[in-house]
Amino acid sequence: MATAVAHEAPATRSVLWSWITTTDHKRIGILYGVTAFAFFLLGGLEALVIRLQLARSENDLVSADMFNQLFTMHGTTMVFLAIMPLSAAFFNYIVPLQIGARDVAFPRLNAFSYWVFLFGGLILNSSFIAGPLFGAGSLSVAPNAGWFGYANLTSRAYSPGANIDFWVLGLQILGVASLAAGFNFIVTIVNLRAPGMRLMRLPVFTWMTLVTQFIVVTAFPVITIALVFLMFDRFFGTNFYSVSAGGDLLLWQHLFWLFGHPEVYILILPAMGIVSEVLPTFSRKPLFGYAVVVYSGLLIGVMGWGVWSHHMFSVGLGPIPDSVFAATTMLIAIPTGVKIFNWLATMWGGQLRFTTAMLFAVGFIAMFIIGGLSGVMHAAPPADLQQTDTYFVVGHIHYVLFGGAIQGIFAGIYYWWPKVTGRLMNERLGRVHFTLSFIGMNLAFFPMHFIGLLGMPRRVYTYGPELGLDTLNLVSTVGALLIGVSVLVFLVNAWRTRRHGDIAGNDPWGAATLEWTIPSPPPAYNFTVIPEVVSRLPRWSRTQMKAIPDVPPEPVHVPGGSYWPIVAAAGLAGMAVGALFHTLWVVLAAAAVLVVAIYAWAFEPFEV
Partner 1 sequence: MALLRGQTQTALALGALMMWVVGCQGPFPQSTLAPTADFGAHIDDLFRWIFWFAVAVFVVVEALLVYVLIRYRARPGAPEPERVHGNTLLEIGWTMVPAIILILIAAPTIQTIFRTDGTPAEGALEVDVIGHQWWWEYRYPEFGITTANELHVQQGRQVSLRLTSQDVIHSFWAPRLGGKRDVIAGRTNRLAFTPDSVGVFLGQCAEFCGESHAKMGLRVMVDAPEDFAAWVERERSAPAPAESLSALARQGLEAFRLVREPASNSCIACHAVQAVSFGVLGPNLSHVGGRTTVGAAALPNTPAGLAQWLRDPVAVKPGSKMPRIGLTEDEITALVAYLQGLR
Partner 2 sequence: MTHAPAHAHATSTGLDNKKLAFWTFIGSECLLFGSLISTYLIYKGRSVRGPTPQEILNIPLTSVSTFDLLMSSLAMVLALAAVTRGDRLWARVWLGTTALLGALFLGFQAYEFTAFVHEGLTITTNLFGSTFFTLTGFHGGHVFVGVVWLLTLLVRSFQGKLGPDKTINVEIAGLYWHFVDVVWIVIFTVVYLIQ
Instruction: Show contacts with partner 2 in window 418-477 (CB under 8 A).
Output: none
Q: Alpha carbon of 391 to those of 70, 371, 450: distances in Å? A: 16, 13, 8
Smallest distance, Å, CB 108 to partner 2?
12
Map the footprint of partner 1 across residues 367-386, applying CB under 8 A: 369-370, 373-374, 376-377, 379-386
Choosing from 456, 487, 579, 593, the residue that interacts with partner 1 (CB under 8 A) is 456
CB 414 within 8 A of CB 360: yes
Is residue 604 near partner 1 by the rule CB under 8 A?
Answer: no
Q: Which DSSP state fits 80?
A: I
Rg of the chain in Å (alpha carbons): 24
Is residue 150 near partner 2 by the rule CB under 8 A?
Answer: no
What distance lies between CA 42 and its chain's CA centroid?
15
Q: Is 105 or 577 the residue whose CB approaches partner 2 more closely?
A: 105
User: 348 CB contacts (<8 Å, ≥6 apart)?
Assistant: 288
CB 534 within 8 A of CB 543: yes
Amino acid at 564: W
Choosing from 344, 557, 584, 604, the residue that interacts with partner 2 (CB under 8 A) is 557
Choosing from 2, 199, 200, 243, the residue that interacts with partner 1 (CB under 8 A) is 243
Choosing from 65, 427, 502, 532, the residue that interacts with partner 1 (CB under 8 A) is 65
Map the footprint of partner 1 across residues 146-205, applying CB under 8 A: 146, 150, 152-153, 158
Is residue 600 near partner 1 by the rule CB under 8 A?
Answer: no
CB 112 within 8 A of CB 568: yes
d(CA 200, CA 209): 14
Choosing from 55, 145, 197, 210, the residue that interacts with partner 2 (CB under 8 A) is 197
Tell me whether residue 576 is exposed, middle or buried, using C-beta atoms within 10 angstroms of its C-beta: 0 to 12, 13 to 18, 19 or more: buried
State the Cα angle at 57 between 53 and 61, rounded to 5°. 30
**3-state DSSP assignment of residue 433:** helix
Q: Is 177 or 293 the residue whose CB approaches partner 1 more closely?
A: 293
Options 178-186, 363-371, 452-460, 470-478: segment touching partner 2 (CB under 8 A): 178-186
**3-state DSSP assignment of residue 384:** helix
User: 544 CB contacts (<8 Å, ≥6 apart)?
Assistant: 534
Choosing from 14, 137, 236, 553, the residue that interacts with partner 2 (CB under 8 A) is 236
DSSP for 36-61, written as a single string: HHHHHHHHHHHHHHHHHHTTSTT--S
Q: How many residues interact with partner 2 (rule CB under 8 A)?
A: 45
Choosing from 192, 347, 362, 443, the residue that interacts with partner 2 (CB under 8 A) is 192
Residue 591 contact partner, candidates partner 1, partner 2, none, CB within 5 to 8 A by sort of partner: none
Question: Terminus-to-terminus CA distance in the chain, angstroms?
Answer: 13
Residue 56 contact partner, candidates partner 1, partner 2, none, CB within 5 to 8 A by sort of partner: none
Choosing from 80, 207, 240, 490, the residue that interacts with partner 2 (CB under 8 A) is 240
d(CA 40, CA 82): 5
Smallest distance, Å, CB 244 to partner 2?
7
Is residue 1 near partner 2 by the rule CB under 8 A?
Answer: no
- Closest-CA residue to 518 (of 85, 194, 35, 91): 194
**3-state DSSP assignment of residue 539:** coil
CA torsion 355-359-360-364 (nearest 10°) is: 150
d(CA 28, CA 20): 10
Is residue 554 near partner 2 by the rule CB under 8 A?
Answer: yes
Is residue 182 near partner 2 by the rule CB under 8 A?
Answer: yes
Q: Is 333 or 534 the residue whose CB approaches partner 2 more closely?
A: 534
User: 248 CB contacts (<8 Å, ≥6 apart)?
Assistant: none
Options 219-227, 242-250, 483-491, 590-598: segment touching partner 1 (CB under 8 A): 242-250
Q: How many residues interact with partner 1 (rule CB under 8 A)?
A: 103
User: 213 CB contacts (<8 Å, ≥6 apart)?
Assistant: 91, 181, 182, 185, 186, 189
Is residue 246 near partner 2 by the rule CB under 8 A?
Answer: yes
Q: Which DSSP state fits 130?
A: -
Map the footprint of partner 1 across residues 320-349, applying CB under 8 A: 322-323, 326-327, 330-331, 333-334, 337-338, 340-342, 344-345, 347-349
Is residue 232 near partner 2 by the rule CB under 8 A?
Answer: yes
d(CA 52, CA 142): 19
Options 58-66, 230-238, 341-349, 501-509: segment touching partner 2 (CB under 8 A): 230-238
d(CA 574, CA 590): 5
Q: Is 550 or 607 the residue whose CB approaches partner 2 more closely?
A: 607
Is residue 184 near partner 2 by the rule CB under 8 A?
Answer: yes
Amino acid at 414: Y
Map the footprint of partner 2 across residues 198-227, applying CB under 8 A: 217-222, 224-226
Is residue 141 near partner 1 by the rule CB under 8 A?
Answer: no
Q: Is 120 or 559 the residue whose CB approaches partner 2 more closely?
A: 559
Q: Is 112 or 415 the residue whose CB approaches partner 2 more closely?
A: 112
Is residue 353 near partner 1 by the rule CB under 8 A?
Answer: yes
- Closest-CA residue to 143 (of 118, 121, 119, 125): 125
Which string of x and - marks every residue 579-608 that binds partner 2 (by CB under 8 A)? --------------------x-------xx
Q: Which DSSP state fits 405?
A: I
Residue 462 contact partner, candidates partner 2, partner 1, none, CB within 5 to 8 A by sort of partner: partner 1
Which positions lie near partner 2, rule CB under 8 A? 3, 5, 105-106, 179, 182-184, 186-187, 190-193, 197, 217-222, 224-226, 228-229, 232, 236-240, 244-248, 251, 255, 554-555, 557, 599, 607-608
